[in-house]
Amino acid sequence: MTSAPTQTLPANVTDRVVASVDDLADELDAFSRDLHANPEIGYREFRSVDAFDAVLTRHGRTLERGTGGIPTAFQAQAGTRTSGPQVVITAEYDALPGVGHGCGHNVIAASSLGAFLALAPLFEGEDALPGGVTLLGTPAEEGGGGKELLIQAGAFEGFDASVMGHPAAVDVAAGPSNAKRQVVATFRGRTAHAAANPHLGLNALDAAVTAYQSIAQVRQHILTTDRVHGVFLEAGTRPNIVPERAVLEFFLRSRSVESLLALSERVEAAFRGAAIAAGVEVDIEWDGEPVYLPQRINATLAQRFVDHSAPRREVIAVQEDTGAGLGSSDVGNVSHILPTIQPTVAIGGPDIPGHSRERADSTLTPDGYRAIVDSSIALALTAADVLVDAELREAAWAEFRAFGEPIKVGDLVPLAPWPTFPTAPTA
């Protein structure tokens, strides 16, 4: 890592940000609670965008919808976008089917909004911050890869850093995540009467079961950091009909793109072997949704977040990779094109699982309120640091380049097709 001298922001910047967030705290909490009560899944977050718009409008800010051609993506600008250093604060606001905000994206949305609103007035007056800050609404993180589509649309171009927070069980400024890709295997056989003439049929379900069991056996012999998990999407229609069609969907995760691709080969071999064994055909579709890349750590930016969090909570700068299983995020894709941090802010304890109703409800507790306030302040001050400190920007980019050149998903695998986006419901 290339180190950058710690530069203390002018006291008036720190004091104004803290005072602004304190004034906004109840409004941000109400906004978070509103999203919690009205969860929306990826690319259907129309009401959530309306909620952002309402808060921004109350504070004299303009929200522009449809960024990158995505109906539920948006942006708001403070300062200038045409000159000087630039920081993007990303916001997530999609929920999980059946679980609601079990990943705490309502808190992410509130803290990103709070950081932006705290910074916005600082671009005015005699001591105005240079450059600009953009609040970028990124839909469909929980499947759909909204940030990857926005990358392809050019929405992340021209920034010096990207920042956002995320609720979790621990306070960590930077840590690893897994790359992730998706595969759907469709087995095609032939129907027959399952009792009268089963010998005339070719059982697609048998192939799918064999494939599932084969992958379960593969799990015993993969890296401890790898994950392969899947479900049956189709498995026949009636017991007295030999199934002519069966469909499996799997997610694959690994710490690196290279190991992910190696794991992919083993999973595809299991699909093809099962098809041969059952005498059926198989169609294998990779990456119907965007591939998620692993997080590229930027300890330079992470340390600034730690410094700005210190008055309110103790945050680990960089979490050691213990080899434990990890989730994935399309923030990883952003981290491969510019310096990026996604700190985690503790709500509750490690006994609250992610992607659970318990996690969703934990965002409504005093811990959730405190997480919104603390994240808003630390993110805003970290962004301000990037804007005023040229040495910090240079150090963050030097650390970024030490990992190699910028990488886009299309450099590695064929890009997933763009989805057909839902339309906003009519009143």
The DSSP string of 103-131 is T-HHHHHHHHHHHHHHHGGGGSSTTPPSS
pLDDT, residue 6, reads 56
Q: Please enumerate in sequence order all residues whose Cβ is within 8 A of that of 347, keeping only pairs 6 or more positions apart, or say none.
A: 104, 107, 167, 168, 169, 359, 362, 363, 365, 367, 368, 371
Picking from 163, 43, 29, the residue whose alpha carbon sits closest to that of residue 93 is 43
pLDDT, residue 324, reads 78
Tokens, residue 289: 């949704």
Q: Please enumerate in sequence order all residues whose Cβ is within 8 A of that of 424, keeping only pairs 6 or more positions apart, or say none.
A: 46, 71
**Greatest pairwise CA separation for the chain in angstroms:** 88
The residues with which 87 forms a beta bridge, in sequence order, are 133, 161
Question: How many other β-carbons are positioned within 10 Å of the β-carbon of residue 255?
Answer: 20
Question: How many other β-carbons are positioned within 10 Å of the β-carbon of residue 370?
Answer: 17
The bridge status of strand 316-318 relative to strand 340-341 is: unpaired
Dist. CA 332–CA 142, nearest whole Å: 13
Picking from 73, 200, 190, the residue whose alpha carbon sits closest to that of residue 141 is 73
Report how far apart, in Å, the C-alpha atoms of 129 and of each of 157, 305, 319 are.
21, 18, 31
At 265, the amino acid letter reads E
> How open is the CA angle 69-71-73, to the nearest 5 degrees?
85
pLDDT, residue 337, reads 97
Let me know if 157 is exposed, middle or buried by CB neighbors in 10 A (0-12, 13-18, 19+). Answer: exposed
Report how far apart, in Å, the C-alpha atoms of 302 and of each of 5, 299, 337, 367 are.
14, 5, 17, 22
Domains of the chain: 11-177+295-411 (3.40.630.10), 179-286 (3.30.70.360)
Tokens, residue 318: 């960089």
The DSSP string of 301-328 is HHHHHHHHHTTT---EEE----S-----
The DSSP string of 227-274 is EEEEEEEEE-S-TTB--SEEEEEEEEEESSHHHHHHHHHHHHHHHHHH
DSSP letter assigned to residue 22: H
pLDDT, residue 10, reads 83
Tokens, residue 84: 């000087």
Backbone dihedral angles phi then psi of residue 134, each to the nearest 5 degrees: -115, 130
Tokens, residue 29: 């909490």
The residues with which 193 forms a beta bridge, in sequence order, are 241
Dist. CA 74–CA 52, nearest whole Å: 9
Picking from 21, 182, 31, 188, the residue whose alpha carbon sits closest to that of residue 114 is 21
Dist. CA 130–CA 115, nearest whole Å: 17
pLDDT in tens, the chain (427 residues): 444 545 568 889 999 999 999 999 999 999 999 999 999 999 999 999 999 999 999 999 999 999 999 999 999 999 999 999 999 999 999 999 999 999 999 999 999 999 999 999 999 988 899 999 999 999 999 999 999 999 999 999 999 999 999 999 899 999 999 999 999 999 999 999 999 999 999 999 999 999 999 999 999 999 999 999 999 999 999 999 999 999 999 999 999 999 999 999 999 999 999 999 999 999 999 999 999 999 999 999 999 999 999 999 999 999 988 877 788 999 999 999 999 999 999 998 788 888 899 999 999 999 999 999 999 999 999 999 999 999 999 999 999 999 999 999 999 999 999 999 999 988 6
Dist. CA 62–CA 59, nearest whole Å: 9
Tokens, residue 374: 């603390």
At 184, the amino acid letter reads V
Tokens, residue 229: 């998990």
Measured in whole angstroms, the distance separating CA 166 from the mean position of its chain's CA atoms is: 9
The residues with which 235 forms a beta bridge, in sequence order, are 246
Whole-angstrom Cα Rg for the chain:
23
